[in-house]
Amino acid sequence: MRIFLSTILVTVFSFGISLADIDFDRFFLEKTMRVDYFHTGIQGKEVISLDQVREEPIWAGSRVNLIDTLNLGKYFFKVFDAKTNQMIYSRGFSSIYGEWETTDEAAKGIWRTFSESVRFPYPKGTVQLAIAVRDEGGYYKNIFSTVIDPNSHYVNREPPTSDMSVISVQKMGEPAKKVDLLILGDGYTRDEMGQFRKDVERFTKALFDTSPFKERKKDFNVWAIEVASQDSGPDQPHLGIFRNTALGCSYNTFDSPRYMLTYENKAFREIAANAPYDQLFFIVNSNQYGGGGIFNLYSTTFTRAEKEVQSWWPDYVFVHEFGHSFGGLGDEYYSSSVAYTDFYSSKVEPWESNVTALHDPDNVKWKDLIEEGTPLPTPWDKAEYDELDAERRALETDDPDYGRKLTEITVRREELFQKQKYFGKVGAFEGSGYVSEGMYRPSLDCRMFTKSLAEFCPVCRQAIERMIDFYTE
Ligand SMILES: [Zn+2]
């Protein structure tokens, strides 16, 4: 494809670039450039190849914070203006590929390909796009680079399919100065749109009932698109259930029954292009527990619990997953089974704001929130918690006494936390990031730790607030 003007030489990841404000109007038009690519590999080897460059009609992101200074995400992309060699846009993100490569399947040497996209405001002139991944030491290394002429006829300028209604659920101001959350439904048939609208209202309420979103509600616009699926409900491959849905959401991602993602990147991107968005959330018409969330990609949740005693579960999942996809937060739990092996290396400090390997206790990344005199690691009755959590995991949902037993365990867990010396304090509590030892979390409890309606811990709250500030300047 001649879109790549190989004669233009741009130094990749050149330094000496000022992080001073980039003048949006000098470099960009008020619409989006989306670059779709294929991310292919096996464990230890990855390749990115270009699919297409796509024009989208709306840019909803900040016009001020064009350069990402947060340094979050497994991947990072940078856009350079070819004429001035100036970096004009950058963002950290994570991907399904980045998780998949930590699974057994990838370790066995089975090559796979995932469709991914990066989006940035539509450049006026030729740009170089570079994508980097963190290496084993946690430092970014460049794995892809291409030159894009925005005026080339190779850019796909088709209008997106727009026979769907866009609903303004909560409009607080201009998209450029707000976090624009776009909710899409999957597995809702045309006859189930009333239910979809009710579910959107329910989750919007759940989000803004939780701190720090509660206090920052005015910084968010919420949009929804009525997407009709042919079939009701998502795929459940492990149960032999396959359904044709608009977004392609499926349980059993990486063979983990409750992990629900979609691999149909271009399908949901084409639908989402109809509304302003910074963040995507797919609510999936199902009563089976599940969800997922990947930083700056999307989140998913199921929508209804099977039993009355579980009625709050979808609210928990919605907010927890949004913690991943919006806040860039890691999982603080360690006792539930996941499909990853060695998701975090104990040798490298995780990039997530709320998980630490505690290599340097004097300089732990949330040091400013720790009271003087708090020991690091911070002692707690881990063995007792582990026993209780094993009891919780052993509960059978078809046990006629399930509800009472679940409530009883929840009460005992709360009592256990409350009798800890460092209850309510920030420290470094061992057990986090899917491992019982060698990874630490900031507080005893958090929405990223227990399956409960627990508040976010102070470190997670701070990370979320920082992100809201970044979007709304
Ligand atoms: Zn937390």
Each residue's pLDDT tens digit, 37-63: 999 999 989 999 999 999 999 999 999
Q: Position of tokens 């619409």?
A: 31
CA of 303 to the centre of ligand 1 (A): 24
Topology of domain 24-148, per CATH?
Immunoglobulin-like (2.60.40)
CA of 442 to the centre of ligand 1 (A): 6
CA of 218 to the centre of ligand 1 (A): 23
Please report, for residues 91, 202, 323, the alpha-carbon distance to residue 61 in angstroms, rounded to integers and kept in the order given.
12, 25, 19
CA of 150 to the centre of ligand 1 (A): 41
Main-chain phi, psi angles of 195, to 5 degrees: -65, -40
- Bond prior to 377 in cis (omega within 30° of 0): yes
Parallel, antiparallel or unpaired: strands 166-170 and 220-225: antiparallel
Query: How many helices (H) and strands (E) would you count in the chain?
Result: 9, 15
Q: Hey, which residues does 280 pair with through a beta bridge?
A: 182
Prediction pTM value: 0.94
CA of 330 to the centre of ligand 1 (A): 8
Topology of domain 166-326, per CATH?
Collagenase (Catalytic Domain) (3.40.390)
What pLDDT was estimated at residue 16? 43
Q: Hey, which residues does 144 pair with through a beta bridge?
A: 131
CA of 340 to the centre of ligand 1 (A): 21
CA of 138 to the centre of ligand 1 (A): 21
Q: What SS3 string covers 94-142?
A: CCHHHHHCCEHHHHCCCCEEEEEEEEEEEECCCEEEEEEEECCCCCEEE
pLDDT: which is higher, 108 or 345: 108
pLDDT tens string 425-467:
999 999 999 999 999 999 999 999 999 999 999 999 999 999 9
Q: Is 3 left (phi over 0), alpha (psi -120 to 50) or beta?
A: alpha
What pLDDT was estimated at residue 143? 97
Q: How far is CA 398 from the centre of its chain?
A: 32
Equal CATH topology for 24-148 and 166-326: no
DSSP symbols for 283-339: EE--SS--EEEETTTEEEEE---SSGGGTTHHHHHHHHHHHHHTT-PPP---SS--S
CA of 328 to the centre of ligand 1 (A): 11
Question: Which residues are CB-neighbours of 251 under 8 A, at least 6 positions away?
Answer: 234, 235, 236, 237, 238, 257, 258, 259, 260, 288, 290
- Bond prior to 237 in cis (omega within 30° of 0): no
Instruction: Kindly list the domain boundaries of the chain, sorted by start residue.
Output: 24-148, 166-326, 361-380+420-470
| 3-class DSSP assignment, residue 172 | coil
CA of 254 to the centre of ligand 1 (A): 25
pLDDT tens string 380-432:
999 999 999 999 999 988 888 988 998 999 999 999 999 999 999 999 999 99
- Confidence category of residue 20, pLDDT binned at 50, 70, 90: low
Report the 10 Å Cβ neighbour count for 307: 12
CA atoms of 443 and 332, how far apart (whole Å): 9
pLDDT cut 70: percent of the chain above it = 95
Amino acid at site 471: Y
CA of 455 to the centre of ligand 1 (A): 9
Token pair, residue 105, equals 């399947």
Pick the closest to residue 223 from 280, 293, 164, 267 (CA basis): 280
- What 8-state DSSP symbol labels residue 235? B
pLDDT tens string 328-383:
999 999 987 666 767 788 889 999 999 999 999 999 999 999 999 999 999 999 99
Report the 10 Å Cβ neighbour count for 168: 11
- What 8-state DSSP symbol labels residue 49? E
CA atoms of 461 and 467, how far apart (whole Å): 10
